[in-house]
Amino acid sequence: MKKLTLAALVGLGLMSGSALAASAWTGGDDQPTNPLSCDATPAAATAKPYDGGVPTNPPDRKGKEITVVDVPKLIGIGYFNATSKGIADAAAELGNVKAKTDGPTKANIDEQITFIDNYITSGVDGILFAANDPVAIAPVLKKALEKGINVVGYDANSTPDARQWFVNQAEFNGIAKALVDSMAAEVGGEGGVAIVTSTFTTPNQARWIAEMAAYAEKCHPKLKWLETVEAQEDNNLSFNQATTLINKHGDELKGIFGMTSVATPASAEAVTQANKCGSVAVVGLATPNAMKPYVEKGCVKSVVLWNPVDLGYAAMQVLRAVADGSLQPGATSVKAGKLGDLQVINGSEILLGAPYVFNKDNIGQFDF
- Per CB under 8 A, contacts with another protein among 193-222 are 199-201, 206
Among 24, 43, 78, 354, the residue binding another protein under the rule CB under 8 A is: 78
Among 34, 37, 96, 121, the residue binding another protein under the rule CB under 8 A is: 121
* Between 45 and 135, CB nearer to another protein: 135
CB of 134 to another protein, least distance (A): 8
Q: Under a CB-based contact definition with an 8 Å cutoff, are residues 322 and 152 in contact? A: yes
CA distance 284 to 282: 7
CB of 262 to another protein, least distance (A): 7
Question: CA-CA distances (angstroms) from residue 269 to 186, 241, 266, 290, 297?
Answer: 18, 11, 5, 10, 12
Q: Strand pairing partners for 283?
A: 257
Q: Which stretch binds another protein (CB under 8 A): 287-295, 331-339, 341-349, 352-360?
A: 287-295
Among 22, 38, 45, 92, the residue binding another protein under the rule CB under 8 A is: 22
Residue 79 phi/psi, 5-degree rounding, is -60, -50
Beta pairing, strands 191-197 & 349-351: unpaired
In the chain, the amino acid numbered 222 is K
Q: Which stretch binds another protein (CB under 8 A): 47-55, 182-190, 246-254, 318-326?
A: 246-254
CB of 5 to another protein, least distance (A): 7
**Run of H or E residues at 67:** strand 66-71
According to CB under 8 A, which residues from 257 to 276 bind another protein?
A: 262, 265-266, 269, 273-274
**Run of H or E residues at 293:** helix 288-297
In the chain, the amino acid numbered 316 is M
Using the rule CB under 8 A, is 365 a contact of another protein? no
User: By C-alpha distance, which of 30, 72, 265, 240 is closest to 156?
Assistant: 72
Q: Under a CB-based contact definition with an 8 Å cutoff, are residues 190 and 222 in contact? A: yes
Tell me 248's DSSP state.
H
Q: Which stretch binds another protein (CB under 8 A): 25-33, 312-320, 334-342, 349-357?
A: 25-33
Contact pattern for another protein over residues 29 through 68, marking x by CB under 8 A: xx--------------------------------------
Question: CA-CA distances (angstroms) from residue 70 to 91, 98, 149, 205, 246?
Answer: 12, 11, 13, 21, 38
What DSSP assignment string belongs to 97-137? EEEEE---SS--HHHHHHHHHHHHHTT-SEEEE--S-TTTT
Size, binding site for another protein by CB under 8 A: 81
CB of 333 to another protein, least distance (A): 32
Tell me 365's DSSP state.
G
* Between 208 and 239, CB nearer to another protein: 239
CA distance 260 to 265: 9
According to CB under 8 A, which residues from 143 to 182 bind another protein?
A: none
CB of 313 to another protein, least distance (A): 19
Using the rule CB under 8 A, is 98 a contact of another protein? no
According to CB under 8 A, which residues from 295 to 354 bind another protein?
A: none
* Between 37 and 114, CB nearer to another protein: 114
Q: Which stretch binds another protein (CB under 8 A): 128-136, 173-181, 308-316, 351-359?
A: 128-136
Q: Which stretch binds another protein (CB under 8 A): 136-144, 316-324, 329-337, 359-367?
A: 136-144
